[in-house]
Structure 1
């Protein structure tokens, strides 16, 4: 296995850049189309966008298409503000609820609170 960069589509006479890797699992009659593999494998096929969309498999075979999940997209500014507001609300609630409980005694970092 050697690492390749800028791999081309495996289809004959196609010069487009590969974006997906097709793997056949013959024992399960399954074709798996997923993200471009890190390494070129001898029994896998690298496909461009056009050929990966036009993929057909033998009758009776299953196709599993694994989509790429973009983990770099992150939360929006609106999401972050909602989280910050929720944290502030919980913090304020905790402070208010603690100040309502009278202390019966204190010794160092320990305190005695009445049981409810």
Structure 2
């Protein structure tokens, strides 16, 4: 039997439809589709709290642009991004060395030059 997860916000008993993950080293918050399982360093949010989330000044938010709904197990780009941010936020990996030809780096994210250049 599967138990529905509830919103992590205090005094909210609504069903969770999104997962919030912070990457403190990048001052970034990611609000994406509900993760397939509860993670210790992420927060499940109901639709109201997922849409109304604000972050401190200077932080960035990567937010799912569609409506939130029941967990969709299909592979989409946002789910992959959210999983990658969760993995990077764990901090138990050694940092990757800088690759030749990269034009900038912010934490685990990299800006690469246009291949046509």
CA drift of 1:12 comes to 0.3
Aligned partner of residue 50 in structure 2, secondary structure: helix
CA drift of 1:66 comes to 2.6
Q: TM-score, normalised by structure 1?
A: 0.54
* CA–CA separation in structure 1 for the residues paired with 2:4 and 2:13: 11
Higher RCO, Cα 8 Å, sep 6+: 2
Please give the residue correspondences for 1:92-107 in structure 2 after superposition, counting only pairs within 5 Å.
none
Post-superposition Cα deviations, 1:48-78, rounded to whole Å, max 9, x if no partner, equal 01101110001100000134698x9xxxxxx
1:46 aligned residue: 44
Q: TM-score, normalised by structure 2?
A: 0.53
Contact 1:35/1:68 (<8 A) preserved:
no
What RMSD, in angstroms, separates the aligned Cα atoms of the two structures? 2.5
Q: Specify which structure has the higher proportion of helix.
A: 1
Aligned pairs, how many? Answer: 69
Contact 1:16/1:48 (<8 A) preserved:
yes
Contact 1:10/1:46 (<8 A) preserved:
yes
CA drift of 1:45 comes to 0.5
Displacement over 3 Å in runs of 4+: 67-70
Query: Highest Rg: 1 or 2?
Result: 1
Name stretches of at least 5 consecutive residues in structure 2 with no aligned partner. Answer: 75-117
* CA–CA separation in structure 2 for the residues paired with 1:5 and 1:61: 33
Aligned partner of residue 21 in structure 2, secondary structure: strand
Which of 18, 26, 29 aligns to 2:27? It is: 29
